[in-house]
Homo-oligomer: A and B are copies of this chain.
Amino acid sequence: MIRNMSHNSFALLQARGYKLTEPRRRVIEQLHDRRRALTALELHQLLASEGISLASIYRTLELLVELGLAEAATRSGDEQRYIACSPGQHHHHIVCSRCGRVADITECLLEPFEDVVRERTGFTIESHTLEFHGYCSACRQ
- Interface residues of A, Cβ cutoff 8 Å to B: 72, 74-75, 94, 96-97, 103-106, 109-110, 113-114, 116-118, 120-137, 140
Q: Which of B75, B110, B130, B136 contacts A122 (CB 8 A)?
A: B136
- Pair B122/A137 contact, Cβ less than 8 Å: yes
Q: How far is the CA of A137 from the CA of B121 in the complex (A)?
A: 9
CA of A6 to CA of B122, assembled, Å: 24
A116 to B103 alpha-carbon distance, docked (Å): 13
List of B residues within 8 angstroms of A118 by Cβ? 134
A105 to B136 Cα, complex, angstroms: 29
How long is the Cα–Cα vector from A127 to B130 in the complex, in angstroms? 11
Please name all residues of chain B whose beta carbon is closer than 8 Å to the beta carbon of A74 when the two chains form the complex.
74-75, 129
List the 9 closest pairs (A to B, CB-CB), nearest first: A103-B121, A125-B134, A123-B134, A128-B132, A126-B134, A124-B134, A130-B130, A127-B133, A74-B129
Q: Which residue of B lies closest to A72 (CB)?
A: B75
Q: Do A128 and B125 touch across chains, with their CB atoms under 8 A apart? A: no
Given A94-B117, A110-B109, A117-B94, verify A135-B129 contact (CB < 8 Å): no
Contact partners of A123 in chain B: CB under 8 A = 94, 96, 103, 132, 134-137
A129 interface neighbour in B72, B97, B126, B129, Cβ under 8 Å: B129
